[in-house]
Copies of this chain bind each other. A is one copy, B any other.
Amino acid sequence: MDEFELIRRYFAPLSGAHEDVVLGIGDDCALLAPPAGHELAVTSDTLIAGRHFPEESLPFDIGWKSLAVNLSDLAAMGARARWFTLALALPEADERWLAGFADGLKALADEAEVSLVGGDTTRGPLTITITALGVVPAGCALRRSGARVGDRVCVSGTLGDAALALERWRAGDRDRSDDALDLRARLDRPTPRLALGEALRGLAHAAIDLSDGLAADLSHLLRASGVGAHIYGARLPSSAAFDRLAPAAERTRLQLAGGDDYELCLCIPAARLSEVRRLAQQIGVALTDIGEIQAGSGLSVLGAQCEPLAFTELGYRHFQ
């Protein structure tokens, strides 16, 4: 099977049939029609087997996750996801693998209504680079840099599920209980919060998506905004599966320093919080108020008695 056949069979069905794709796969470039008065949001992420997902992950899940992590970046800008390109390096053209991978990619592409518009396939160690493109009305994107003193710090969904799943899997745990599978699904098939990001344009002051863990990612946002924040460890939202399976001593570390949540962290002016809650409810995404933006710099995590928790005890490393 040569490259052209491979593209025709597995990837052409992903090109969708959206009006804003003027010319899809098959020429030197794709031609796209961004709507008037909009800016383009662009992001690229690479996933490498054994580094960004377990080697034995299902091809479906690898396809899903490769696109999800990119769409999550678009969600964090409040952009509407529209198109993506795929650069795929494969050790060999394994048809079963390709079919599963393309299915996973397609499942999320259909759900998010995005079109595959180009790319490249080469032989090499399994590496997936996706560049995702979205559109956002000019001047309306959510940025990391807009947080203001007094804003509420909110997060979507639940935190720590993917990190717990990864640690259990790395420790050799192959538990197939419903709880374990729920956690694993959060690691393998994260849900980019696109509808929430779009709905909060003009409402949230700042946003970032959670890929490296809440503490690291919120710290990026605080630096970009020139502010500090305190959050309450006990308020961090957790799933029922996490509550049952996470060792008590590890909870806060997993929720703060674990990665792969792909939830949004949002800074919301206090006066708009109830409006934002209503919107999130309509969309069907949980939104939890976990703390407040304050003057100064840095992130404080407060314990049950509002005592600051020492970062060094929480397993932080890569964001200090």
Question: Could you say which of A34-42, A55-63, A241-249, A251-259 contacts chain B?
Answer: A34-42
Asked if residues B42 and A117 are in contact (CB atoms below 8 Å), the reply is yes
Asked if residues A143 and B27 are in contact (CB atoms below 8 Å), the reply is yes
A98 CB-CB contact with B under 8 Å: no
Partner among B28, B83, B120, B209 whose Cβ is within 8 Å of the Cβ of A28: B209
Asked if residues A29 and B41 are in contact (CB atoms below 8 Å), the reply is yes
- Sample of 26 A–B contacts (CB below 8 Å): A23-B143, A27-B143, A28-B43, A28-B144, A28-B207, A28-B209, A29-B42, A29-B43, A29-B76, A29-B79, A29-B134, A30-B41, A31-B41, A31-B136, A31-B141, A34-B40, A40-B40, A40-B133, A42-B83, A44-B86, A44-B118, A45-B87, A48-B124, A120-B129, A125-B125, A127-B127
A85 CB-CB contact with B under 8 Å: yes
A289 CB-CB contact with B under 8 Å: no
A208 CB-CB contact with B under 8 Å: yes
Asked if residues B31 and A34 are in contact (CB atoms below 8 Å), the reply is no
A89 CB-CB contact with B under 8 Å: yes
Assign chain A's interface to a size class: 35 or more
Task: Give the chain B neighbours of A145 by CB distance below 8 A.
Answer: 27
A303 CB-CB contact with B under 8 Å: no
Task: Give the chain B neighbours of A48 by CB distance below 8 A.
Answer: 89, 122-124
A304 CB-CB contact with B under 8 Å: no
Asked if residues A39 and B27 are in contact (CB atoms below 8 Å), the reply is no
Task: Give the chain B neighbours of A27 by CB distance below 8 A.
Answer: 77, 143-145, 224
A26 CB-CB contact with B under 8 Å: yes
Asked if residues B85 and A28 are in contact (CB atoms below 8 Å), the reply is no
